[in-house]
Structure 1
Amino acid sequence: MADVDVDKQREATASIRGYLYQLDAALLEILNSDIDDQIVIEGIEDFDRYSAEEITYCQVKYYAGKDLTNSVLRDPLYKLFQHFLGLDENARKNRKYSLYGFYADIKISTDPLTVERFKEIMEVGEYIPDAAGVKRLHKKSLLDDAVAADEVIEAFCQVFRIQLSSEFFEHRSSVIATVKRVQGISLLEAEGFHYPRAFDFIASMATKADHNDRTTTRRALQEHLKGTQAVHRRWLLREKDASEYGKYMRQLYFAPNNSAGVVRTFIIDVSTMKDSATICDQLREIARKWSSAKSKTTPNNERYAPFVVLRHSSADLISQVKNELFDTGTDFVDGFPYNGSAFRAEHLNAAQTKERQIALRFADNTDQLLQAVEIIGRKLCHFYDFFFESPLVLEVPGAKSRMVSIPVDDIATIKKII
């Protein structure tokens, strides 16, 4: 390979890396914010966070080849102070300012600022020739042209902080780890699928001219990421054989043996199915694995039975499935306690006991399911969406609910997964 000539003075690597670092920092802020806090990319500062209590302005710096000194801190600190100084007294009360970044070395204290320390940082030394031509050091301050009382400087110091972060690749790893935690996924999924899609979401937003188009929330980001898991699993389904795929999914989502305290819902796409016997075979396996119906030792107050929904099913197919389950001795409840009854969510939540061995809770559609789940309290809820073509779009209730979309090419694959 031929040598490539590079002008080191014009090489843009540091600038590009600094901008990527800034986008990673903004993504980390979104992931760690409350669900509806607004984050503005390239707002007043590199990113601004608007919460119910306060507004935070953040500058991001990535100086892998530069130490943090007074002179390096001076300009960004002064810019943040100028913004604070321009606000009226009431507006200053809920403002915060942050300098976030990485430096080759830290040569100064990063403790909270005092008025004296702030003034020291603002001082600039300049060598000016005297009448005899001898250069002498003269000190001036960036504050010389600003009308800033000590109490205003003190108020600013109280709301300013320096956040020292890690070098580029370590910082990116921490962002990916946060994606993993917030999305409740594996590291492989976070690194290979969710993080690239999230970064693209932020990078595309940063190019918009209108600040409204550069404003987002954690809720919006998570909506954007909803389809990512399904795409990943569709790829896995294609690349792996059924047994290997089933084992992988089982390890991810169905390894725990103890289901007590967890409400599980199995939503099964039956759009290509006409055979009720095959469907019942899967439902009986779900009941065997994820219901305590046949347990002789589980106390009544700790018993559990999963909800099931047949998605894209006709009323006739649902009726056939219910009849076959009943005829083969699988005890289940639906939301209809008697012939002609209106749907009753409380009946779908009838208690399983040693005497009443309810194995399944059968909802005819997702509307019935959501009504039933809403009245169960604060339990952790897992929704498993087994689909053929497209994942289910469902607004799951509560912060403790979790939706997992799993593609299958054959309904029999479900037994291999669960």
Structure 2
Amino acid sequence: MTDRSAVDTIRGYFYQFDYSILKVLQLLDCDDSIAVECIEDVDIHTATEVTAVQCKYYAGTEYNHSVIKPAVMFMLSHFKKIKDDGKLPVKYLLRGHYNSGQHKLILPIDVTFLKQHFLTYSEKRLERRHHEELGLSDTALAEFLSVLDIDINAASLEDQFTEVIRQLQIAYGCTPFEAEYFYYNNALALMRELTIQTLPTNRTTTKGAFLKVADTSGVLFNEWFVRKKGEKSHFSALKKAYFSGLNLSPFERFFLIEVSPETFVRSDLKEVLHLLSKKWSKTSKRDGNSSFCPYVYVHGLPDDELVTLKKELATEEFCFIDGYDFQGADFSVKSIAKRASHDNGIKLKVLNSIANLEVTVGSVTKTREVYQFHLGKSYFEPANEAVKHIQIQVKKFTDIKAII
């Protein structure tokens, strides 16, 4: 597969995922549902009808009847089967976006056009007619056309995505950024998960269940979402949304970093700590009583490694405090909350444990902001809802450098 065709294939996946998200958001009732990869790409189930949709993206392709012929024949076969089984009829929608050639198909089509352009094909140099193989009369074909809708002027990938974000804003009452980075990110992960389920019943979601699962209070790392946005663009958007101008106000800021002991490299963590101190400290003489520096808690770091890390920082004359005033002392919020200044040289406040973090966030009285970076599940929730809490899932903790 060429690079170009690979890109087209990926865009096709996103087009189908986005369409699935859009359709579930547009369902009128929370008990209405969609199913993916069952009859067709997307099956829409309401209390009164089922619509099977094949959704394709051919932005670089000219429309020709042959492109949708296999889909029409498959739908006709399904139409015949459920008719024979005495089941309720299904509506069919062929939906596609093409670069050009839409003038070749004039709608609505009749039975003669259907048979000539969509049901007649060649196999081993023999002309075959799919409707005759199925034993369908012109009357049955006319009935099929009454439940078939063809749309070859579907929205572009970009326009469809814009509508998805608008619908998410409506559903959750959120900003465009939250719609994309919180809810769309989660929705995309949900749709991808549905498509890989083995049983058809597990590839179905109601509108109510979808809205609940897609709801999130933080930015989750989704391979598909990052692939669509591009890693650089993804990090840049997070930086703009959350980490621009943080050092303008003397708030109590807590940066929570999760590391994996298996892949942890001490020098990388030290680099992140130095960066946090440099970017979000104001301790010059002119800052006076408005001086400050950040708190840091490293989740998942073994105790012995934390001790070694602090020894190295001390040896390198990087001044920090950790709330313990002498050997054997209890943790002191008063000690850890000491104002950093030019005179005392404090550059960072290191919290040793979740317990120290919880009591400090709960006890300090200034405006508090918590920025939690997690690799998997969230590991901290402030007890006070007044505390600003930003949660960002990352693939590896060193990604923090590009975000902050």
Cα distance in 2 for residues equivalent to 1:81 and 1:73: 12
1:396-415, aligned counterparts within 5 Å? 407-409=385-387
8 Å CA contact retained: 1:180, 1:187 = yes
> Which residue of the partner structure matches residue 198 of structure 2?
209
Q: Distance in 2 between matches of 1:228 and 1:218?
A: 19
Checking the alignment, whether the CA contact within 8 Å between 2:183 and 2:216 is kept in structure 1 is no
Q: 2:109 maps to which residue?
A: 113
Paired with 1:240 and 1:43, the residues of 2 have a C-alpha distance of 49
CA distance in structure 2 between the aligned counterparts of 1:214 and 1:24, rounded to whole angstroms: 16
Task: Name the aligned partner's letter for residue 49 of structure 2.
Answer: E
Residue 12 (structure 1) aligned with residue 6 (structure 2): yes
1:198 partnered with 2:187: yes
> Cα 1:62–1:11, aligned 2, differ >3 Å: closer, same or farther?
closer
TM-score, reference length from structure 2: 0.51
Which residue of the partner structure matches residue 234 of structure 2?
none
TM-score normalised per structure 1: 0.50
Contact 1:70–1:121 (Cα < 8 Å) also in 2: yes
C-alpha separation between the residues in 2 aligned to 1:244 and 1:192? 28
Q: Tell me what 2:382 maps to.
A: 389
Q: For 2:160 and 2:244, how far apart are their aligned partners in 1? A: 33
Structure 1 SS opposite 2:169:
helix
Q: Contact 1:112/1:158 (CA < 8 Å) preserved in 2?
A: no
Q: Is the 8 A contact 2:93 2:150 kept in 1?
A: yes
Q: Which position in structure 2 is the counterpart of 1:255?
A: none
Given candidates 76, 96, 99, the residue that maps to 2:94 is: 99
- Shift of residue 65 of structure 1? 2.2
Task: Tell me by how many angstroms 1:192 deviates.
Answer: 2.2
Q: Deviations over 1:169-200 (max 9, x none)?
A: 22222212221222222212112221111111
- Kindly tell me: are residues 120 and 92 of structure 1, through their superposed partners in 2, closer, same or farther at Cα, counting changes over 3 Å? farther
Query: Which of residues 155, 171, 177 is equivalent to 1:182?
Result: 171
Q: Distance in 1 between matches of 2:215 and 2:246?
A: 23
Q: Deviations over 1:101-136 (max 9, x none)?
A: 21112142352332222112235466999xxxxxxx
CA contact (8 A) 2:120 2:127 kept: yes
Q: Which of 127, 131, 139 is equivalent to 1:143?
A: 131
Deviation at 1:10, TM superposition (A): 8.8
Q: 1:219-230, aligned counterparts within 5 Å?
A: 219-228=208-217
Return the alpha-carbon distance in structure 2 between the equivalents of residues 202 and 62 of structure 1. 17
1:79 matched to which residue of 2? 74
- Counterpart CA distance in 2 for 1:205 and 1:57 is 17
Separation of aligned partners in 1, 2:87 and 2:144:
9
CA distance 1:203–1:239, shift in 2 (3 Å): farther
Aligned Cα RMSD in Å? Answer: 3.5
Q: Is the 8 A contact 1:122 1:141 kept in 2?
A: no
Write out aligned runs for 1:218-257 (5 A): 218-228=207-217
Residue identity opposite 1:30 in structure 2: V
Q: Name 1:158's counterpart in structure 2.
A: 146
| TM-aligned CA distance change 1:196 to 1:226, over 3 Å | closer
Residue 125 and residue 37 in structure 1: after superposition, are their counterparts in 2 closer, same or farther (change >3 A)? closer
Using a 3 Å threshold, how does the CA distance of structure 1 residues 219 and 140 change in structure 2: closer, same or farther?
Answer: same
Is 1:23 aligned with 2:17? yes
Amino acid at match of 2:212: E
* Matching residue of 1:37: 32
Q: Displacement, 1:28?
A: 0.9
Q: Which amino acid aligns with 1:408?
A: A
> Contact (CA 8 Å) 1:27, 1:202: kept in 2 or not?
yes
- Is the 2:54–2:95 Cα contact (8 Å) retained in structure 1? yes
Alpha-carbon offset, residue 18 of structure 1: 1.3
One-letter amino acid of the counterpart of residue 16, structure 1:
I
Which residue number in structure 2 is paired with residue 279 of structure 1?
none
| CA 1:208–1:242: 2 relative to 1, 3 Å | farther
State the alpha-carbon separation in 1 of the partners of residues 250 and 175 from structure 2. 17
Structure 2: state its 5+ residue gaps. 221-237, 252-380, 389-404
- Among all aligned residue pairs of Structure 1 and Structure 2, give the percentage whose two residues are the same amino acid: 25
**Conserved 8 A contact 2:169-2:176:** yes
Are 1:46 and 1:60, in contact at CA under 8 Å, matched by a contact in 2? yes
SS in 2 for 1:58: strand
